[in-house]
Structure 1
Amino acid sequence: MMHDNAISLLENRTILYAEDEAGIRENVVQILEIFFKKVYVANDGESALLLYEENFPDILMVDICMPNKDGLEVISHIRKKNSKIPIIVLSAHRDGAHLWRAVEQKISKYLTKPFNKTEIMEALSICALELVDGILHVKLNENVDYDISQKSLISNGDKMPLSSQESRLLEYFISCRGQILSFEAIEDRLWGYESPGKEAIKALVKALRKKTGKEVIKNHYGIGYYLA
């Protein structure tokens, strides 16, 4: 599904989640920790602003009704500094007034309580696509694009499907573009506790390079690889 494909791009991203109700907060944090590198958690508006200033997360998920500044105040303050950060608004209110105030802040998704895991994942997928300019194609170089939804490369109009491991590796590179990924980091992300060794990683990278072109994925001798 498109949502599954898009949400995989959040693996190296961070989110700030602000919610004053402890029970809801605990359940949602467990879901967010599945998809994000780091989840920053606040229980009121002031602590949310402080965490934002200290960590500059990639995505915001904010409840409207919170003590010490409500969620819309928090969003308004952050919007003055960052006009592009994807924002998910949570609310127990179904009335148009709250929704309209949220829409004015250019939010990505408005979720009405109670919501479920599927709804959260759909909202996160929307945010993930906004982080890659809201499109399903990621440009790798002048000649090659990656189609997130189809798990395939597009070169000169031709589609080249990727294997499951190839697409997972490429999406990991995309989420950390320009950052050197060590053999250990790649091994942990793709295989977890099952250690295939460096040779398996090299073979996978070699297979992917045959499709992307060598100039897309660069080698850092003895350490790992990075996406140019």
Structure 2
Amino acid sequence: MMVTCNPLDILSNKKVLCVEDEAIILSNIMESLELFFGKVVGVKDGREALDEALGNLYDVLMLDISIPYIDGLDVVKKIRQVNKKIPIIILSAHSEQEYLWRAVELKITRYLCKPYDKNSLIKALEDVALELVEHQPCVQIMPSCVYDYCRKTITANEQILHLSKSESRLLEYFLKRPNQTITYEQLFEYMWEFEQPSKEALKSIVKELRKKIHSDFIKNLYGVGYLCEIQI
């Protein structure tokens, strides 16, 4: 089941890390990204970038090459050692072939040369969005249930049900980690990074997902967290 939609809608509940050492440029980039992403975090050097990227959960990275302490491509090289799939956009004033080849070897999603225009950024973000869902805007959770990443809807028993932002964010987290133990602490950090976590709020979201999907596919692991029993 394939549905035509704006691929950028996929980014609405994703988290992006932006790395740029010029404060004004960083602010402008973050302002642009906030139009598309659910959460945008900015840092100004390679050390901060590594600490953030390796210590927290991000869906997308956007880096300048010329940043203090560790250059952007070396940051990407270290990140690729532990995360080979995260989409990465490189922003740089460098157009030399050496930098381009290094970026290709690191499987960069897009290499944008500064100054770039709005259309170039949008095309890069569309590539990122398609990469995030592996070019499939819909995924079958079970025989009678399909999740649409673009529209944030569940189609179950021929009914289309809309998910809230929290419900879609939690479901996508589970879909990335099928049949894995997921602790309360992991979910608190992902769902409420800058807010006071609430186990009752989490239970309420899980309850609504089970109701809409008509399945107890999210299993309670008492005192630990949850296990999402699906085959995707």
User: Aligned to 1:84, what secondary structure does the other structure show?
Assistant: coil
Query: What are the within-5 Å matches in structure 2 for residues 1-228 of structure 1?
Result: 1-10=5-14, 13=15, 15-34=16-35, 35-39=37-41, 41-149=42-150, 171-177=168-174, 212-213=213-214, 215=216
User: Aligned to 2:142, what secondary structure does the other structure show?
Assistant: coil
User: Aligned to 2:125, what secondary structure does the other structure show?
Assistant: helix
> What is the root-mean-square deviation of aligned Cα atoms in Å?
4.0
* Structure 1 unmatched ranges of 5 or more: 186-204, 219-226
Change (3 A) 1:55 1:169: closer
Following superposition, the deviation at residue 18 of structure 1 comes to 0.9
Query: 1:2 corresponds to which letter in structure 2?
Result: N
* Structure 2 unmatched ranges of 5 or more: 175-181, 192-207, 220-227
1:7-35 per-residue CA deviation (whole Å, 9 max, x = no partner) reads 2242xx3x221111222111011233442
Counterpart-to-counterpart distance in 2, 1:173 and 1:121: 26
Counterpart-to-counterpart distance in 2, 1:70 and 1:179: 34
Would you say the 8 A contact 1:209–1:217 is kept in 2? no
Following superposition, the deviation at residue 179 of structure 1 comes to 9.5
Following superposition, the deviation at residue 95 of structure 1 comes to 3.4
Q: What is the number of equivalent residue pairs in this alignment?
A: 197
Would you say the 8 A contact 2:65–2:73 is kept in 1? yes
User: Aligned to 2:21, what secondary structure does the other structure show?
Assistant: coil
Following superposition, the deviation at residue 75 of structure 1 comes to 0.7
Counterpart-to-counterpart distance in 2, 1:53 and 1:152: 31
Counterpart-to-counterpart distance in 2, 1:71 and 1:86: 14
Change (3 A) 1:83 1:167: same
Would you say the 8 A contact 2:19–2:64 is kept in 1? yes
TM-score normalised over the length of structure 2: 0.63
Following superposition, the deviation at residue 91 of structure 1 comes to 1.2
Counterpart-to-counterpart distance in 1, 2:146 and 2:73: 38
Identical positions, percent: 37
Query: 2:20 corresponds to which letter in structure 1?
Result: E
User: Aligned to 1:17, what secondary structure does the other structure show?
Assistant: strand
Would you say the 8 A contact 1:7–1:125 is kept in 2? no
Change (3 A) 1:169 1:57: closer
Following superposition, the deviation at residue 173 of structure 1 comes to 4.7
1:34-77 per-residue CA deviation (whole Å, 9 max, x = no partner) reads 423351x2212122122223324332111112221211111111
